[in-house]
Structure 1
Amino acid sequence: MKAILIPPLGKAQQSELDTLYRKTKDPRLRTRAQMVLLSAERGLKALEIAGIVRESEDTVVRWLKRHQSEGVDGLKDAPRAGRQAKVTAAYRAALVAAVRRRPRSLDLPFSIWTLQRLVDYLAEQTGIRIALETLRQTLKREGIVLSRPQHKISSPDPDYAVKKKRSKTPVIT
């Protein structure tokens, strides 16, 4: 296999790759940036880089060539075929708006949201029905977690707290 060498990077390229390596949350992209950095900074060959990043030599060569031809954008995964996601930005906005309101304020016959109730409500509003797990994951990405309802017993009686405490106190005979 013909050896491929990445020429020394300019300051802008170096900075861009370094930022990508340090800040990306995609481990595949981080490994690819590391391959290019090892080749450019240390002058390592594909076989040596393969041993460090635990990939095959062919894989390292492929990503180094792709970086040479396309730059940093070439290290990203190409779009893949597949079904379009059901959860769109509009659906996500409707979901967040609904979950932040009480169901009774939307003229619904219940007072607490559950995943099933949210799925049903949003299916009526948007025409898109998704799985419960998809809804849960979408809520989680928005920083919202539905927890089990906490049922509390209360009374309008002004002495209720005193009576409740008295009922929990053990009687010694």
Structure 2
Amino acid sequence: MPPRSPYVVILTAAQRSQLETITRRSSAPYRTVLRARIVLAAADGESNTDIARALGINADTARKWRKRFCSKGIDGLTELPRSGRPRIFTAEQVAEVKALACELPSVSGLPLARWSCPGLAREVTARGIAEQISASSVRRILSRDAIKPWQHRSWIFPRDPYFALKAARVLDLYARIWDGEPLGADDYVLSVDEKPGVQARHRICRSLPPTARRAMRVESEYRRGGTLAYFAAYDVHRAHVIGRCEPSTGIERFSRLTAQVMTTEPYASARRVFWIVDNGASHRNWAAAARLNDAYPNAHMVHLPVHASWLNQVEVYFSVVQRKALCPDDFADLATVADRLLTFQQHYNNTARPFDWTFTRDDLNQLLHRLGRHDLHAPRPLAA
């Protein structure tokens, strides 16, 4: 006969009803349901050993929650507050460490290009922010706000005073709008550029295909077979590409692409064909626009702002070409490269859909507003 517990559980009708409700509640945490069952079994006269056997727990667990209920009632079934490890650094010290990490090291007179956690730890102690701090503690403090001063990204600040207006025209064309009016069914938008310097690199040893538990193997040494330029006009709304390969870039070679496109239907008989281009030498400034319009009156060249090729959708197509057709590369000569590019172009046209372009005028305004905070003396006009 197991010894009886000195803690006898006697439940009121309200307490029993509350505990039984907890055991039936599907959303209640398991530990809460378990504690309620222990108390109900104890109220029915079960010993701690019998309760432990029935519920598959340790007898000490049953003894703990029986005692807790007898001393504090149902409120005793909740977790007690835990103190945890005491703070080593105050909130002010943590804030100063984060502020230091958001400064360039040159502000502190250090010959460093960027901070590291050990460097920050040394500077924190040197400034007297904390008597002692480890690099791992600095990393934990910075990780709470995802601050990573040892990383950096390159960017180009837009300096064109008409950046917003020029970029907004292109974004409107992507949305099939021109001068505030919707484009017609016989209006087309082409995103055009060239991909220069495509190399014909011939691997000294042939590449090995992938097998089980082994990736494709590509010889690192190669022989150079020259370079060519790939010109492409991407129809934004039809996801159709017309391209050609040339020995290099230049006005004359770009003109051959315009002739190839503008003598092909539906562009030859279209009402308007908008050519979105960047500021490359082959199609720069008003002279290129006039040259295109003189040759084909229904063709209109629209220039992007300087340093805004990221708004040119053909660059997305070029990234697809690079990833799927040119990398890894192993071409015997330039003719093989040209054949790969044009064959992939046809393959792409058979399966492609328009890019899901979501960057709008509003996104452009928000971007320029954020950039304006970095240079208060050079406000950017909105794309209104």
TM category (shorter chain) comes to 0.5 to 0.7
Which of the pair is proportionally richer in strand? 2
TM-score by length of 1: 0.54
Counterpart of 2:89?
87
Residue in structure 1 matched with residue 140 of structure 2 by the alignment = 137
What SS does the aligned partner of 1:86 have?
A: coil
Q: Considering only aligned residues, what root-mean-square deviation do their CA atoms show, in Å?
A: 4.2
Equivalent pair of 2:104/2:114 in contact (CA under 8 Å): yes
Residue-pair matches, total: 141
Residues 55 and 120 of structure 1: is their aligned pair in 2 closer, same or farther, counting only changes over 3 Å?
Answer: farther
Matched to 1:138, the amino acid is: I
The question of whether the paired residues in 2 share the 8 Å contact of 1:35 and 1:49 is answered with no
Deviation at 1:114, TM superposition (A): 0.8
Specify the alignment match of 2:348 in structure 1: none
Q: Partner of 1:93: helix, strand, or coil?
A: helix
Give the percent of matched residue pairs that are identical in Structure 1 and Structure 2. 15
Q: CA deviation at 1:120?
A: 1.1
Alignment of 1:2-21 (within 5 A): 2=5, 5=9, 7=11, 8=15
CA contact (8 A) 1:116 1:132 kept: yes
Instruction: Give the CA deviation at 1:68.
Output: 4.5
SS in 2 for 1:87: coil
The answer to whether the 8 Å contact 2:93/2:130 transfers is no
2:49–2:59 CA contact under 8 A, matched in 1: yes
Match of 2:163 in 1: none
Whole-angstrom CA distance in 2 between matches of 1:97 and 1:52 = 57
Q: How far off its partner does 1:119 sit?
A: 0.9
* Residues 67 and 75 in structure 1, CA contact (< 8 A), matched pair in contact too: no
How far the C-alpha of 1:67 sits from its partner, in A, is: 4.8
CA shift digits 1:67-116 (9 cap, x unpaired)? 55343597326548x8x542222222222222233333444432312110
Preserved CA contact (<8 Å) 2:124 2:130: yes
Q: Quote the Cα distance in structure 2 between the aligned partners of 1:103 and 1:48.
A: 67
Unaligned runs of 5+ in 2: 43-47, 155-195, 202-223, 227-384
Distance 1:151 1:144, change over 3 A: closer
The aligned residue for residue 98 of structure 2 is 96
1:172 paired with 2:225, answer yes
Distance 2:8 2:69 in 1: 11
Task: Label 1:144 to 1:132 Cα distance change in 2 as closer, same or farther (>3 A).
Answer: same
1:33-112 equivalence runs, <5 A? 33-39=32-38, 43-45=40-42, 46-47=48-49, 50=52, 55-70=57-72, 71-72=75-76, 75-76=79-80, 79=83, 84-112=86-114
What TM-score comes out, normalization by structure 2 length? 0.29
Q: Name the amino acid aligned to 1:58.
A: D
Give the secondary structure class of the aligned counterpart of 1:66: helix
Task: State the shift of 1:62 in Å.
Answer: 1.8
Specify the alignment match of 2:303 in structure 1: none
* Change in 2 beyond 3 A, CA 1:72/1:66: closer
In the other structure, the counterpart of 2:119 is: 117
Give the helix-richer structure, 1 or 2: 1
Distance in 1 between residues matched to 2:150 and 2:54, nearest whole Å: 47
Runs of at least 5 residues in structure 1 that lack an aligned partner in the other structure: 23-29, 153-164
2 CA distance for matches of 1:106 and 1:52?
67
Q: Single out whichever of 116-125 and 53-62 deviates more from structure 2.
A: 53-62
DSSP 3-state at the match of 2:67: helix
